[in-house]
A and B are shown apart, each in its own frame.
Chain A
Amino acid sequence: MSAAIEIPYNSTERPDTGLYNAKLGVWLFLASEVMLFGALFSSYVLLRTGAQTWEHGAEILSVPLGTINTFVLIASSVTMVFSWASLQAKNLARFKLFMGLTLLCALVFLVIKGFEYRAKFEHGYLPSTSTYIALYFVLTGLHGLHVIGGVIVNSYLWGPGSRMWFTDPQRFTNRVEVAGLYWHFVDLVWIFLFPTLYLLPGK
C-alpha cells in the first residue's frame, strides 16, 4: 500500500524562483534548442564565407510563398497567446477556438512547405545539388519537424488533454503556456530562417 506523492510546484509557483516546474523545464529545453539552431546557423556562416560562389535564394526559392508562410506563423503566434489568455479568462470554448486556429495555421504552413519542397524536387534541386540547397533542406527540414512536434502537442492540448481543465485548471493553463513558449520559439527561428535562406544576396 502506498500513498500518492504529490510533486510540488506543478500548479503553483515555487516561492524562491517564482516559477512552476514546467516553465523552468521548457526554458532549459529552449536553451538547448538555441544551441542546436545556433550550431546550424554558424555552419551556414562558415560554409558561405568559405565558398567561392553562393546562390541568391530569391532566384531559386519562392519568396511569395516564404512571405505567406511567415505571415501564417506570425498569425499562429497571435492565436496561440490568445488561447492561453482565454484560459486565464476561464473560457475553455475560446481556448478551443484559438488553439484550433493555431493548429490550422500550422497545417497551412506545412502544406505550403510541402508545395515548396515538391517544386524544388521537380526542378532537380536536391540536397546534393549544392551546399546552399543542402543547408536549405537541413534548416527548413529541422524547423518543419519542430512545427510537426508543436502540432502534436497542441492537438493533444486541444483534444484529450483539455480534460485536465475540469480537474486542475491552473496546471492545464500552465501546460498551454509552456506549449506556447515552444511555439513562439519555432516562430522566432523562422523569422531568422526566412531572410537567411530566401532573401540574402548571393556571391
Chain B
Amino acid sequence: MILKDIMSAHIPEAAGKQKTIYIAVGAALMVGTIVTVAAASVHLGIVVGIIVALIIATVKGSLVAGYFMHLFSEKKLIYAVLALTAVFVIAMFGLILSSNADQQGRQHGIFQVPQRHVELHHKATAASASGKGEHVP
C-alpha cells in the first residue's frame, strides 16, 4: 500500500526524475546495512574490521548526503561552507590523533627521550640518593 502510494505519487518533472533514484538509494542503504552487519560477523581482525566498517559507512553516508541532501547538485556557497567545516574537523582529528600517537610512541619506545634528559635524570637520582638534592631543571 505504502509502496504503491510512493510509486503512484504524482510528481512534476524536476522531482519526478528523482523518484526512482530516491527509492534506489533507500534500497542501496538497506543493502549496505546488511553488508555492514555481515562483514562484522566475519573475523577480519581489529584493523581490517574497522577499516571495512568505516568504508561501508562512508559510502552509505555519501549516498545520503549526495542524493537525499542534494549535495551532488548544490550551490557553490554550500560547498564553501562544507569545505571550511572539513578543514576544522580534519584539524581537530589531526590534533587529537597526533597527541595520541605521541603518547603511544613514548609507551612503545618509538619516540626516544633525548639522551641529555636521561643523563640529567640519572644525575638527579644519584644526587638525591646521596642527600645532595641537586636541582635539575
- Annotate B77-96 by CB proximity to A: 1 below 8 A, 0 otherwise: 11001101100110011001
Please tell me if the beta carbons of B68 and A82 are within 8 angstroms of each other in the complex: no
Residue of B nearest to A80 (CB): B68
Please tell me if the beta carbons of A89 and B15 are within 8 angstroms of each other in the complex: yes
Q: Report how far A58 CA is from B37 CA in the complex, Å.
A: 10
- Distance in angstroms from A51 CB to nearest chain B CB is 11
Chain B residues within an 8 Å CB radius of A180: 68-69
Q: Report how far A67 CA is from B53 CA in the complex, Å.
A: 14
Chain A residues within an 8 Å CB radius of B9: 82, 85-86, 89, 91, 94
Given contacts A191-B61, A192-B61, contact A38 B56 (CB under 8 A): no
Chain A residues within an 8 Å CB radius of B2: 101
Chain B residues within an 8 Å CB radius of A89: 9-12, 15-16
State the majority secondary structure of interface residues on A. Answer: helix
Residues in A146-175 with C-beta less than 8 Å from chain B: none
Residue of B nearest to A47 (CB): B100
Does B50 touch A at the CB level, under 8 Å?
yes
Q: Report how far A43 CA is from B97 CA in the complex, Å.
A: 10
Does B22 touch A at the CB level, under 8 Å?
yes
Given contacts A97-B5, A200-B53, contact A18 B75 (CB under 8 A): yes
Please tell me if the beta carbons of B92 and A184 are within 8 angstroms of each other in the complex: no
Given contacts A42-B92, A85-B9, contact A75 B26 (CB under 8 A): yes
- Distance in angstroms from A200 CB to nearest chain B CB is 6
Chain B residues within an 8 Å CB radius of A82: 6, 9, 19, 22
Residues in B55-72 with C-beta less than 8 Å from chain A: 56-57, 60-61, 64-65, 68-69
Chain B residues within an 8 Å CB radius of A201: 40, 45-46, 49-50
Residues in B1-29 with C-beta less than 8 Å from chain A: 2, 5-6, 9-12, 14-16, 18-19, 22-23, 25-26, 29
> Which residue numbers of B lie inside 8 Å of A, CB to CB?
2, 5-6, 9-12, 14-16, 18-19, 22-23, 25-26, 29-30, 33-34, 36-37, 40, 45-46, 49-50, 53-54, 56-57, 60-61, 64-65, 68-69, 75, 77-78, 81-82, 84-85, 88-89, 92-93, 96-97, 99-100, 103-104
9 extra interchain contacts, Cβ-Cβ under 8 A, other than A42-B97, A89-B15, A199-B36?
A18-B75, A31-B82, A35-B85, A45-B97, A49-B104, A74-B33, A187-B68, A188-B64, A191-B60
- List 21 A-B pairs, Cβ < 8 Å: A17-B77, A19-B78, A24-B77, A31-B81, A38-B92, A71-B30, A71-B33, A82-B19, A82-B22, A88-B11, A91-B9, A91-B10, A97-B5, A181-B69, A184-B64, A184-B69, A188-B65, A191-B29, A195-B54, A195-B56, A201-B46
